Structure 1
Amino acid sequence: MRLIIVGFGTVGQAFARTVMARQRGLLRVFGLRPRIVAVVDRGGAAVKAHGLDFEAIYKAKLREGSVSRDPAVGRPSVTAHDVIETVDADVVVEVSPTNLVDGEPALSYIETALKRKRHVITANKGPLAHAFPALMELAAYNRVLLRFSGAVGGGTPILDLGKKCLLGDTVSSIYGILNGTTNYILTRMFEAKTPMATALREAQEAGYAEADPTSDVEGLDSACKLVILANWVMDRPITLSDVKVRGIREVDVDAVARARDADCVIKLIASITEKAAEVKPQPIPRTNPLNVGGVLNAVTYRTLSAGEITIIGHGAGGVETASSMLRDLIDIRRSLTV
């Protein structure tokens, strides 16, 4: 399968490296022969029909700041749209920087790829949060697949559990901790009685929080992931505007202390039920399976037949997210042979 990778940061590089390192196993076990024919970053593109040399373009990225600076295959003036439109490929892997305001430019990249009848794999929450129903409809119309396992839970198969492993059952509601940054902050506030500002600074120093943590602290990141879960697992056609969101800025050490006295912890819980979709900090019993520490994510599916099922794992990381994207690639390959 011929792949175009749009975005060559941490996740894009990890995905490319993973695919290249596992080529023999992918061919032997799944009959999958991935070939990266183009990589796009902010400086341009690298294109080679027979497949790019990962190490060569990676060195160009490190040395010159862009894959387009590779003297053999670089194309400095080429845009992502140009590549998606003109380079022969089966799958577009979209991992450009996330924009939670309107999903662009990733939303346009995905739309262009689907219209060109190319399958799409993305770990980008922005486009899915703003236009999930429309994108799925566009994919179905063009008879291609849109997959996004890495957009929720990093390498933890949260979406696969809800969509594939609960077939035949009905998921009535979902509750979860979907953001590792805020969970780290709230864990520190509970365990060490650390003020929020200090806990946030610690998270930034440890690399768990961005320099601008607004989307995490305000609950927007969790809300985007909730939209994806609602659409994919519960067939609820909602977008980000349908989610009621309240972040953790108003949580102080006194509120955490009151929760502790009640044998509870405060967590930023994202939930979807028949009545509402919302993200808000709330106390939960310390015995609740969602009471996970540090940067862990946890999701509980409430089902009609199997009861409550909880999955726990790390929700971020380049290598972890790349593993989810590889599962998506294998899923697309299998779908084409059915």
Structure 2
Amino acid sequence: MDIALIGFGSVGKGVVQVFSKKQNQLRQKYDLSFSFKGIFTSRGAFLDSNGLDLQSILNIKDLTAHSSWKNGLSFMESIDDLDVDLVIEVTPTNIEHGEPGKSHIISSIKKGCDVVTANKGPLVVAFDELAELCRRGGCILRYEGSVGGGLPVFNLVRETLQGNTIHSLRGILNGTSNFILTQMTYERTSFESALKTAQELGYAEADPAADVEGTDAASKTVILANGLFGMNKGIDDVYIQGITKVTPEAIELAGNENFLIKHIASIEDGQIEVAPRLIQKTSPLAVDGTLNVVSLQTDLAKEITIIGQGAGGEETASAILSDVVDIHLTRKAK
């Protein structure tokens, strides 16, 4: 399998590290041999038609000093000359227009490549368009890493819950907001103080709006609604309420009645929302810190809940790796 990787931030580097580390295991367990022909960054690209030496790229401090480096070269400029089977797209997310990831994915599918992405933007703004392009072109699109980091939500439904009808979904899809609410609950601090702690620990960005106002969780909920429920929804279809107005007093009152306040994403009866909600302290959704959780209500297996780290380079790379293996096995079976 010949691969191109677009994006070399924390997730992209995590992909290179994980694939380099797991190379022998993938060959022995799944008969999967791979070669990265191109790795594209915001400043240029590593290109080698014979396959890149991943470890040398990970070890080098000055990317431009690498023998395979092409300064200023973009994926869109290179796509016609790239001879790859699969494209991994992990550029930064933009949920307003989905670019540049949307163009990367569309161009890859039109070239006949399978695609794995952790980029929420294209899936939020153009899910049906991308799915239709894949249907027409005979390509496979996988996006496990776009929701919940390493949580295997889509793989679970596709590979383990076949035959089940998914009635509803509830979950916590943003680790930053969950950490803040956890701090407010157990440290009895204000929202502002908890946010500052989250920023100091690196859990929250300098501009935390997407996390605390709910748009990040909402975008993930849209992808779940479209990918699991076939709902063809966009971000404007989600009722969104952030956590900025949650007070220590409200949390304390909830605690006195054996409830927690959590930022809950839900999909039920055609409605999608992300908002602070009361949940029982014994609920499967009562996870703390930066953990994410997804709970599915099904007709046969009843309630299925998965918990794990919702972000991180290696965690998301794990999801990407599972998607690549899935595509390999699907192609091999045909």
Could you say whether these structures have the same fold, taking a TM-score greater than 0.5 normalized by the shorter chain as the test? yes
1:73, CA displacement in angstroms? Answer: 1.3
In structure 1, the residue matched to 2:130 is 135
Unpaired runs of 5+ in structure 2? none
1:12, CA displacement in angstroms? Answer: 0.7
**Once the two structures are superposed, what CA deviation does each residue of 1:176-212 show, in whole Å capped at 9, x if it has no partner?**
0011000000011111111011111111111111111
Cα pair 1:173 1:303 within 8 Å, conserved: yes
Cα pair 2:57 2:66 within 8 Å, conserved: no
Unpaired runs of 5+ in structure 1? none
Cα pair 1:139 1:145 within 8 Å, conserved: yes
Report the AA paired with residue 262 of structure 1.
E
In structure 2, the residue matched to 1:331 is 326
Cα pair 1:114 1:139 within 8 Å, conserved: yes
> How many equivalent residue pairs?
333
In structure 1, the residue matched to 2:118 is 123
In structure 1, the residue matched to 2:238 is 243
Aligned to 1:154, the other structure's residue is in SS state coil
1:1-338 aligned within 5 A: 1-60=1-60, 62-63=61-62, 67=63, 69-338=64-333
Report the AA paired with residue 5 of structure 2.
I
Q: Normalization by structure 2: what TM-score?
A: 0.96
Cα pair 1:174 1:301 within 8 Å, conserved: yes
Moved over 4 A (4+): none
1:74, CA displacement in angstroms? Answer: 1.3
Query: RMSD value over aligned CA atoms?
Result: 1.3
1:174, CA displacement in angstroms? Answer: 0.4
Cα pair 2:20 2:55 within 8 Å, conserved: no
Q: Identity across aligned pairs (percent)?
A: 41
Aligned to 1:292, the other structure's residue is in SS state coil
Cα pair 2:184 2:194 within 8 Å, conserved: yes
Report the AA paired with residue 244 of structure 2.
R
What is the alpha-carbon distance in structure 2 between the residues aligned to residue 144 and residue 275 of structure 1? 29
1:164, CA displacement in angstroms? Answer: 2.5
Cα pair 1:2 1:35 within 8 Å, conserved: yes
**Once the two structures are superposed, what CA deviation does each residue of 1:37-64 show, in whole Å capped at 9, x if it has no partner?**
101111111100111112333344x32x
Report the AA paired with residue 32 of structure 1.
L
